[in-house]
Amino acid sequence: MRRNANTSLDTVVTDFILLGLSHPPNLRTLLFLVFFFIYILTQLGNLLILLTVCADPKLHTRPMYILLGVLSFLDMWLSSVIVPQIMLNFTPASKALPFGGCVAQLYFFHFLGSTQCFLYTLMAYDRYLAICRPLHYPVLMSRRLCTILVAGAWVAGSIHGSIQATLTFRLPYCGPNQIDYFICDIPAVLRLACADTTVNELVTFVDIGVVAASCFMLILLSYASIVHAILKICTADGRRWAFSTCGSHLTNHS
């Protein structure tokens, strides 16, 4: 998209107004309560998983539950980046978000979202090793290695979020400042830029596309190998045990 501006290329927008989700005015209270209820349930569910993993010494030393606990922690923060902003849309409060707040929201949305994507991939790989290579599992997925992989996922997610935020907000924004979305996300923000956004759109599409497609393919390959290995198990109890070890991971993927 190209936008020509006669104004200075310096950023003059100091805040953004999030238009949020369109809704009938008479349903504001109901929608607020629905999103509030969902948010509280999400936080409590993730907190329960975290407390369970931390409270049991046997759980917080096993890679499977370390990954599950970290994923729950990330989900709590990602929900906090998105849902409160949606709820604000159903109140009389000001919808204005400072420029720096918009930058932070876009960064954390992509940082936490991409880190979750990397963690889903690690969880699939962990189950692949546990079921397809059980004798080598303690060596191939030790607690130390699991910690390193989790740290790598955090770092990769942070780099991904930084790239997206830097590319988006290096452009000048000189008005208008109304974002037709419920959070500061790249496509909605780029529509307001006072410069050519073609390169940004291309890099964003490739970057996000490569991350999402790579994670999806690795997860798909891992679970295809797992299903193949399970079907080769002779006993029903063995197959049931193998499927049960993937249950919590598949639940979080969905």
Note the pTM of the prediction, 2 decimals: 0.84
Residue 2's pLDDT is 42
Query: pLDDT for 214-253, tens place per residue?
Result: 999 999 998 888 888 877 766 665 556 555 565 555 555 4
User: Per the domain annotation, does 12 fall within a domain?
Assistant: no
User: Per the domain annotation, does 150 fall within a domain?
Assistant: yes
User: Per the domain annotation, does 7 fall within a domain?
Assistant: no
* pLDDT beyond 80 at 213: yes
Provide the domain count of the chain: 1
Average pLDDT, stretch 73-93?
90
User: Per the domain annotation, does 3 fall within a domain?
Assistant: no
User: Per the domain annotation, does 69 fall within a domain?
Assistant: yes
User: Per the domain annotation, does 1 fall within a domain?
Assistant: no
Q: What is the CATH number of the domain that holds 141?
A: 1.20.1070.10
Query: pLDDT for 167-190, tens place per residue?
Result: 999 999 987 889 888 899 998 999
**Vertex 80 angle, CA 119 and 157, to 5°:** 30
User: Per the domain annotation, does 6 fall within a domain?
Assistant: no
User: Per the domain annotation, does 50 fall within a domain?
Assistant: yes
d(CA 87, CA 154): 28
Range of the domain at 158: 17-253
* pLDDT beyond 60 at 70: yes
Query: pLDDT for 156-166, tens place per residue?
Result: 999 999 999 99
Lowest average pLDDT, out of 68-77, 83-92, 208-217, 237-246, goes to 237-246
d(CA 163, CA 110): 10
